[in-house]
Chain A
Amino acid sequence: MACCLLAILTCSVSALPAANNFDCSDTTPTAYDAQVDQSSMGYDSSSSTNAYASTAYNQFKSDAIFFFNGHGLFYDDSHKGGGIKFSSESWILANTDGHNPGNYRKYISNYGDDIDDVLLVVYLACYSSHNNPYNGDLVKETVTNKHADICIGFDGEIEVENGKCWSESFWDRVRNGETVSDATSNAKDDCYWQWPVGYHGIDTYEISGSYNSCLTPARYGAC
């Protein structure tokens, strides 16, 4: 409740709802393109390349929209999902049972009610909606446990070019007023008929939360 009041107060003073976008592999310029579309929808949007997990983790708390495009988590023993990789071997993970990749780690499970007013989270990465027995399920942790409104992840393998295609189409479509669900699905079909023909994993998307919402008018999520 306190964060809602704070968000309303913040809005009433001057700030537009914040959006942060991260390219963390050879995925540029998807974060910048998302920023452009979000700005035209009325969000105070920014983008960066190769950010540290700690930077993104801290900004997440003030975001209406959080978008990540980069690598997902895959262990040598084939357990996968539950994490997204930032610069310098830093990770944001859903949680941990003691298995910890990389050098620096931040956990969604450690948020209190910090992200319960986030409207939309997009984890565009391999296995980002897959439940990993070591590090949990990013999408579930974000929406079910931490109460962000909507989260999109991918259960399968995604590759760079297909991810770029989906991202470009998705943000363009939500800017044009499509619901998150419709934009996600239609963007998937936009990718099918690009070369090489096929979905190539982009059809493994999962959405948790208020999937029939639109992103306009620009706003924070419901607490």
Chain B
Amino acid sequence: MLCLIVTISAVSAVIATAPIGVDTAKENVQVFVNDPSVNIQYQDTKCLNLGDYYTFSTGNGQLYVNVQTGMVERASFNDARKSSGEVRFDNARAKMVAREYAKEKYSGFADMNMKLIKSDSENHGDAGSEYSFIWRENVEGVLTPNTVVINVNPASGGIVSYIGIQRKINCVLEPELSEEDALRIAEKQFPDIRATETTAELSIEYTKPDLQSLTWVVTVKGKPEDHVLQGGLVVIDALTGEVLMTSPYL
């Protein structure tokens, strides 16, 4: 009986991880854009730590389909980026648009503990502005890779771009390294600076292909030296204390 279960599980695993074909992915793009007149062209396959993606051009933008799940995890709509310079949607109305879009495109959005971590307008100069809304799932104080990003045109309310990542969490959520120790390790990466501001958040990151790691993502800001901002971003393995990345400010 145990063998049978193991066999069934193994078969299920194979089925679950078998990549979809380009044609199936293209059909999923068609459903996502919901416009039969769109000319969808396969572009290439990209391999990221998050997973492998088929990318498609629609003439008016680009979509990324997860090779394993078939989900459209990213879309951009170039026409929606065009700006009249007017602001017809205030932040609250734009957020409502973004939230409805997230509910439509991201399965289970309303049922997950999605924390709104950004809700701002970004001014891109002559290229116009956009509202940017970012949600990340928070589980027991840990930010997971599950995220939704929706950028909205303030003049039209159109969706400029969408990112929606949904993964099962398969790493531990309890750090071995305390926040205090993480901050101390991070500041050591910039030994000559006078730190003025440090922040840390626990985050599950894909630091290698298909590998989830519980990390401390630490931001260190220091007083300027020679007219240059000091500090930067440090990513630390929250289980081992290993510094995975140090990225100074430019």
List chain A positions with a Cβ less than 8 A from chain B: 25-27, 69-76, 80, 83, 85, 89, 91, 101-102, 124-126, 129, 139, 155, 157-163, 179, 181-182, 184-186, 189, 192-200, 203-209, 211
Contacts and interface: CB of A to CB of B under 8 A. Distances in A.
Given A193-B165, A196-B215, A159 B227 contact: no
A148 B123 CA distance: 21
Interface in B63-107: 74, 76, 78, 81
A192 B62 contact: no
A126 B224 CA distance: 12
A10 B124 CA distance: 34
B247 to A, nearest CB: 4
A159 B248 contact: yes
Contacts of B247: 159-162
Contacts of B233: 159, 161-162, 196, 200
A156 to B, nearest CB: 10
A69 B165 contact: no
11 contacts: A91-B227, A157-B229, A159-B250, A161-B247, A182-B76, A186-B161, A189-B74, A195-B49, A196-B235, A205-B124, A209-B126
B149 A192 contact: yes
A139 B125 contact: yes
Contact of A196 (B78, B203, B249): B203
A85 B125 contact: no
A106 B159 CA distance: 42
Contacts of B154: none
Contact of A85 (B124, B160, B228, B248): B228
Contact of A163 (B122, B127, B250): B250
B126 to A, nearest CB: 5
A126 B250 contact: yes
Given A85-B228, A203-B132, A185 B160 contact: yes
Interface string B27-51: 0000000000000000000001110
B163 A193 contact: yes
Most chain B beta carbons < 10 A, residue from A89, A157, A158, A204: A157
Contacts of B165: 193
B136 A197 contact: yes
Contacts of A26: 248
Interface string B115-141: 000000011111100001010100000
B235 A195 contact: yes
A60 to B, nearest CB: 19
B147 interface: yes
Contacts of A74: 224, 227-229
B157 interface: no
A98 to B, nearest CB: 15
B226 interface: yes
Contact of B126 (A179, A186, A207): A207
Nearest to A101: B227
B228 A193 contact: no
B203 A204 contact: no
B50 A193 contact: yes
B122 A203 contact: yes
A152 to B, nearest CB: 9
A63 B216 CA distance: 43
A84 to B, nearest CB: 9
